[in-house]
Structure formats: structure tokens, C-alpha cells
Amino acid sequence: MAGTTNAFEMAQQQFDHVAKLLKLDPQVCELLRWPMREFHFRIPVRMDNSSIRVFDGYRIQHNDARGPCKGGIRFHPAETIDTVRALATWMTWKCAVADIPLGGGKGGVIVDPATLSTSEKERLCRGFIQAIWRNIGPRQDVPAPDVGTTPQMMGWMMDEYSKLIGQYTPGVITGKPLGGGGSLGRTEATGFGVVYTIREAMKHNKMEPGKCTAAIQGFGNVSQYAAIGFTDQLHGKVVCVSYWDRDDRKPYTVSKSEGIDPIFLKSIADQYGSIDKEKARAAGYSIEDGDAWLSKDVDVLIPAALEGQINGESVKKISKQVRMVAEGANGPTTPEADEYLKANNVFILPDFLCNSGGVTVSYFEGVQNDMNYYWSNEEALSRLDTKMTQAFNSVLEMSLSESAFMRDAAYMVAIDRVVKAMQLRGWI
């Protein structure tokens, strides 16, 4: 996270603002401002050198009125309980705005996974499930990968849960490897979902995709496929991506004025998106400061790293040419930055709309697990495109009818759906 931004305070501030616009009952607000359940636990892991190291883990279940909780597990050294609370809250709105029958959850462990061996990561993953297995399940709470976790880790977690419960239960975890209960299309889902919403927003804003440029923050899974989709599907040009350099412990921006080749950069990056800058430089790329992506003269900015990256100060670096911000990350823009973007007529694709492709195909994965029948890649991505387009149009319609900022409109759609579910179940 950037600076002193508290993600959960930001999530609550965004909610409170829209709750006032909706004139929501204060008692309902109090129910939705906080998670329904929180689990804090400690995970002892025997390391390769035979020592015992204890890790702090969390699982937050924000709201399950619309269905089982859903949300990733993040392995990150700067993880905090408030970050997990915020992400669980946003997951509730994300599932609602995508109109999938799931609620919001999130998990985390305070660890840099790159410092662990493969066997240590496996023991940590299994330890996480051993701590929480009684409180998750296909009809309770379905975890998935997030920052710092991978399909292989999800496979270990699913296997541990299946052992503990005594039966093969692939639907307990999504984002699993292909051949181990995973779905085709899941790897690309979040990044391609970002591209589908950008495409629809460009139609609305009368922008020609093939003539548009983009700058992307981050080079993890979401950024990689957003870059691939922007170039291959929209035929636009991505001029740069930023990434966290694990050797230098600092961010860099890798750029090329004529447009990057995301497939090439992916081929010289490790599993966490850290690019080999010497190979990039040898291929004609420029290596710039980590925040250089923010000030590029482009049409679209895609923040796809961590929370609070576009804040009250950094937003002033954004070029006047930028017409759209597509939030591939969760909570990348603070409320202060929103006011600046609003005043400058920058079109926002809010995070829990824009990056909902991952949870949507995770939902598809759970459906396929239940059927024990699996779709083709084309079928999964076609269904994703349909869902993302419908979600964008529902938010755009709300924005136009209520003369509301796109983020506010997304909240209006999501909150309304969750409140209706709570009413129908007799909770309120």
C-alpha cells in the first residue's frame, strides 16, 4: 500500500458516501460497513532447516446474503487485517455488480512467498487450510488465488481440505491448475475482463481502440493479460508497464514509445512479474523510475498493482491526455484522487466492476466442479465477455439515469442487490 492509506477506511468512506445518496437505513449501513465474521490465526510451519516459523493468517467473511463468500488469499509481506477487511468488502460489491450468486470474502498471510522454497510454500498452504477448514467450503466460503499465490498453491489447499473432510471436494477452492479441477480461461480472466470493460467504455466515449494508448502499473497476472488483450483484441498500444524488482527491492517502469510486446516481457519475467531489466534493455526497452507510468501521455491508465496508488498527491502527475482510468487492482484510487479525476472529466472504470472477471470465471469454475463437466476456453471466455458487458451496461445505465460518478453508480447497483437479498432472506 502507498503511504498511510488505510484500505478499509477507504472502503468504508466510499460506502458511506453512496449510502447517503441512497438514503440507506442507518441500521442496514451498520450491518454492511463491517464484516460479518473474522478469523485470525497463527500457522506454524517447519522450515527446510528444521526450524519452526509462525505466520499470521486471516480469513474475513464480509457478507453472504447472495451466496457463499468468495475471495482470494493474498501472500504479501505488508498484509494487514484492514487490507483483508477492505478486500472482503469490495468482493461483496464485486460479486453483486457482476450479478453472480456469491458474497464477499478474503484471506491473507503476512509473508513474502518469494523467500520460501517450494516445499515451505506447500506446508504454509496446507497449514492455512488446517487452521480454517471448518469455516470454508463450497457452500460456505470459497477461496481463490490473489497477489503472491498461484494455481499450484490452490491445488495444495484443495487437496488438504479434501483430506480433512474425507472426500474429493474441488469446489472448495477456485483458480486451481488445469487437470486439477481448474477452468480454462481462469488465468486470463481478470486481465481480459479489464479489456472487455475498456472496450465497452470506449464505445460509450466514442474512442477508437486502435488509435488509443495505455500505461499499466504492475506486471503480475492481471497486468500481463490486460496488456495482451489491449494489444491483441483492441489493437491499441501499451507504451509501458511497471513492476517490482525483487533484486533491487524497488519498482521500475519498462517502456517503449512504439509499444511494448507483452508476450516478450512475460517471457523474461518470473512467476511474480519481476522483469529481467537487462534482457529488456537489450531488446530496446527503456528502464525508468517506478512511478513513470503515471505521467505518460496516454489515453488509458490501468493501475493493476496494489491499493492507494493514485492518491491526492500522485493524481496530479497524470497527463491531461488521459481520458480513462481502468482499475485492474483493488482500491488503487483514493477518494481524494477521485475528486480530482471527476473534476477533470476522466472516465473511471471502478475496481469492483473492472476487475470482476477473475471472480466471474472462478464462479464458472465452481459451477463446472459441481457438474463434473468442463467447458472449452472459448466457451468460458465468451460467457465472461457476456457477463462483463452486462455488468458494465448496468452500471453505465445507473450512472446516466442518476447523473452519478461511475464509482458511485457501481456502488448503487451492488448495494441495492445485496440489500434486496438481505430483505428477501428476512435479515432486515
Other C-beta atoms lying within 10 Å of the C-beta of residue 46: 13
Positions of E strands within 47-175:
52-63, 69-76, 103-110, 141-145
**Nearest Cα residue to 411 out of 105, 71, 13:** 13
Nearest-angstrom CA–CA distance, 416 and 200: 23
Contact of 207 with 196, CB cutoff 8 Å? no
Nearest-angstrom CA–CA distance, 340 and 197: 22
- The whole-number pLDDT of residue 38 equals 98
Q: What is the mean pLDDT of residues 7-27?
A: 95
**pLDDT digits over 402-414, tens only?**
999 999 999 999 9
Q: Is 106 a catalytic residue?
A: yes
Could you tell me whether strands 52-63 and 103-110 are parallel, antiparallel, or unpaired per DSSP bridges? antiparallel
Q: What average pLDDT is seen over the chain?
A: 96
- The whole-number pLDDT of residue 247 equals 87
**Nearest Cα residue to 242 out of 320, 328, 156:** 328
Q: What is the mean pLDDT of residues 66-92?
A: 96
Lowest-confidence segment of 108-117, 245-254, 277-286 by average pLDDT: 245-254
Q: Which fold has domain 188-353?
A: Rossmann fold (3.40.50)
The pLDDT-based confidence of 4 (bands split at 50, 70, 90) is low
- The whole-number pLDDT of residue 218 equals 95
Q: Show me where the domains of the chain are located.
A: 35-169, 188-353
Q: Is 311 helix (H, G, I), strand (E, B) or coil?
A: coil
pLDDT beyond 60 at 3? no
Sign for the pseudo-dihedral over CA of 162, 168, 173, 179: positive
Intrachain domains 35-169 and 188-353 with the same fold = yes
- The CATH number that domain 35-169 falls under is 3.40.50.10860
What nine digits make up the cell of 334? 483514493
Positions of E strands within 64-174:
69-76, 103-110, 141-145
pLDDT beyond 90 at 246? no
pLDDT beyond 50 at 2? no
Options 70, 94, 106, 387, the catalytic residue: 106
**pLDDT digits over 314-347, tens only?**
999 999 999 999 999 989 999 999 999 999 999 9
**pLDDT digits over 117-168, tens only?**
999 999 999 999 999 999 999 999 999 999 899 999 999 999 999 999 999 9
Other C-beta atoms lying within 10 Å of the C-beta of residue 101: 12
The pLDDT-based confidence of 5 (bands split at 50, 70, 90) is confident
